[in-house]
Structure 1
């Protein structure tokens, strides 16, 4: 079973993570594994490390060559929200697997609105338990007895996990008394706001106002991600550091430097802790895997990992800008990845993909690879038992 080391990020002033095709006014809520890995490699390089040596053990797909096989020293999940001692996971995609047609018809709007499920619920789903009776009630008066909603239904957890939420979420702000369970639907784990900024023209000194989206978390809340270490004490060639040491050094740099966009205005800086994480359920050899990181199937894995009973997936286009020392900021090539929560065959592996920009021969060649992470890490799923 994959045993994770947990890393918790508590943001000092919120963060901004751009969404492809959307202006600065919007920000994503979670931090994808490919964004996190790219930031770690960049921080490793800025600390004096060799990025080529860092990625050498990973399976890779170069921009103009044959796939390179590898055995990664670690795999990581995307970063998802946490609240107190409650970790949240992405809502798995194949809803008919866990809900009857009647439930999907009557509660489709509520189910579609769920973005994250708690660890206890995620484990029940992985174990093959039907989830119809564990849904939180509608906005009508009934008191929840099994499932509870937060943030208007975007977060779903069990009644037992309410005690593990931060006190600021589960108690009245003035009286300090515990809130009724049905009132937790209105409590916010995070807030998305538009923050005004001003840019000044260098020539005319004319000012122009623009807005940037910011995600701010409630006290005791933030993002967590897991790392499945395979060879943490392996030394990176030429650097003298082990992968665990290099990982911690890069994370410490990013804590002050920030993650995401708008870092020059204070976004993205965080404090972090390292601790024992969850153990993910093992997938059976011919079973299914619910992925917790964005996934890029290898050529040899297609179409097999996406076919068969029980598979379901969502594609997401990953584009954006790259930063390279000594080079102007440029658009990297767009890459299609499977989103977190997708369900694929259990033998899914994935690779890193070089997404450096390609130009006509007369314009020269971008000087180094730009690796995007696409390794699969997830939880095995059992068949749903409906008695």
Structure 2
């Protein structure tokens, strides 16, 4: 079973995560695995490390512009055994860890129930660890769904934050006191959990002042604020924790880099205080089932399949979604520029297990300018597409 070291992040000043094709006024709630990996590599360079030393340990696809025409471009592939793989950072509330809702969740429900409660199922974005175990075993979930009537006492399943989160009655005991109790320290009824929030996604007014005319212009930025004892968690699956990175190991390096990133922040609008966090390691690791070759597997990270994996991993997949990943890059070797867009398989997708993990690679997304016949910057810009997947069983009929 994969053992996930759990890193808990709390954001006292809020968080802004940019969303593709959406304005600054909106913010994502979770941090994708490729963003986390890029932040670690950037922090490693800012501490004096050489990114090439870091990347030597990861399977990668480097872009080579051999000529002025696109057909002359090529990719240089280098294989390696990755020392670790990251999940994306998902919400937690107290001692309850949440996971992305599987894309093919509907196959675990009776057709009549699906017809009656489709909107409620579509509203679910995250499931708890106990619900996830039921899904991975392929069990029917009809009896575990929370009641339709918000005033009815839940029997097995509980809805949190208007149905965004789905957990079990037993797991409600691990929720933080700010959610499970009222102001007089009285335990709240389970039916009221639907009105309790793990996070608040709002907008904050900001102002920009012209340097020429000194006129002001108001704008709004999205900000996610978490309830006390709530935040984001990520899992690290180690393949080689003692692998060398310069004069230290990857495990020791990650601890220092998380501390540095905690001060610098993650995501956007960091100059306004967003994204700064405190981090800690959970006392117990998470154990989840390994993917079996030929069986379905649930992704907990984004995934960029290698060319050799494409014929099977997606064509035989049960259900998956693709996410275009673009945005801006930051480098010491030039001005901020747009990265080339890359398509990644999203978290929650159910793919066809290929064999030994990790699947995928780390891909070079530095910009290309055809008019000048030159790459935008003199070094690769890496986007991580290494898959962290857990095994699933076929649905019980």
Q: TM-score range, shorter-chain basis?
A: over 0.9
After superposing the two structures, state which structure 1 stretch, 279-288 or 126-135, moved more.
Answer: 279-288
Does the 8 Å contact 2:206/2:219 carry over to 1? yes
Cα distance in 1, alignment partners of residues 255 and 305 from structure 2: 28
Does the 8 Å contact 2:312/2:354 carry over to 1? no
Could you tell me which of 75, 87, 98 is aligned with 1:88?
A: 98
Aligned residue for 2:67?
A: none
Calculate the TM-score normalised by the size of structure 2. Answer: 0.94
Point out where structure 2 has 5 or more consecutive residues left out of the alignment. 65-74
1:384 Cα deviation from its structure 2 partner? 1.8
Cα distance in 1, alignment partners of residues 352 and 388 from structure 2: 12
Aligned partner of residue 13 in structure 1, secondary structure: coil
Summarize deviations over 1:203-234 as a string: whole Å, max 9, x none: 11111111100000000100000000111111
1:128 Cα deviation from its structure 2 partner? 1.4
Query: Is 1:298 matched up with 2:292?
Result: no
Cα distance in 2, alignment partners of residues 277 and 53 from structure 1: 28
Aligned residue for 2:381?
A: 370
Cα distance in 2, alignment partners of residues 248 and 14 from structure 1: 22
Aligned partner of residue 109 in structure 1, secondary structure: helix
Does the 8 Å contact 1:127/1:381 carry over to 2? yes
Aligned residue for 2:240?
A: 231
Aligned partner of residue 237 in structure 2, secondary structure: strand
Cα distance in 1, alignment partners of residues 217 and 268 from structure 2: 19
Cα distance in 1, alignment partners of residues 92 and 389 from structure 2: 18
Query: Is 1:73 matched up with 2:83?
Result: yes
Cα distance in 1, alignment partners of residues 287 and 390 from structure 2: 9
Could you tell me which of 284, 290, 293 is aligned with 1:282?
A: 290
1:363 Cα deviation from its structure 2 partner? 5.9
Aligned residue for 1:196?
A: 205
Aligned residue for 2:251?
A: 244
1:96 Cα deviation from its structure 2 partner? 3.1
1:139 Cα deviation from its structure 2 partner? 3.3
Which residues of 2 match residues 203-218 of structure 1 at below 5 A? 203-218=212-227
Aligned residue for 1:335?
A: 342
Summarize deviations over 1:165-199 as a string: whole Å, max 9, x none: 001101123x2211111111010100011101111
Does the 8 Å contact 1:19/1:27 carry over to 2? yes
Point out where structure 1 has 5 or more consecutive residues left out of the alignment. none
Cα distance in 2, alignment partners of residues 292 and 317 from structure 1: 17
Could you tell me which of 83, 93, 98 is aligned with 2:108?
A: 98
Cα distance in 2, alignment partners of residues 140 and 39 from structure 1: 41
Which residues of 2 match residues 5-44 of structure 1 at below 5 A? 5-44=5-44
1:374 Cα deviation from its structure 2 partner? 0.5
Cα distance in 1, alignment partners of residues 288 and 243 from structure 2: 23
Cα distance in 1, alignment partners of residues 315 and 149 from structure 2: 38
Aligned residue for 1:56?
A: 56
Does the 8 Å contact 2:321/2:345 carry over to 1? yes
Aligned residue for 1:169?
A: 179
Aligned residue for 1:128?
A: 138
Does the 8 Å contact 1:44/1:249 carry over to 2? no
Aligned partner of residue 40 in structure 1, secondary structure: helix
Does the 8 Å contact 1:280/1:378 carry over to 2? no
1:277 Cα deviation from its structure 2 partner? 2.2
Aligned residue for 2:323?
A: 316
Does the 8 Å contact 1:61/1:352 carry over to 2? yes
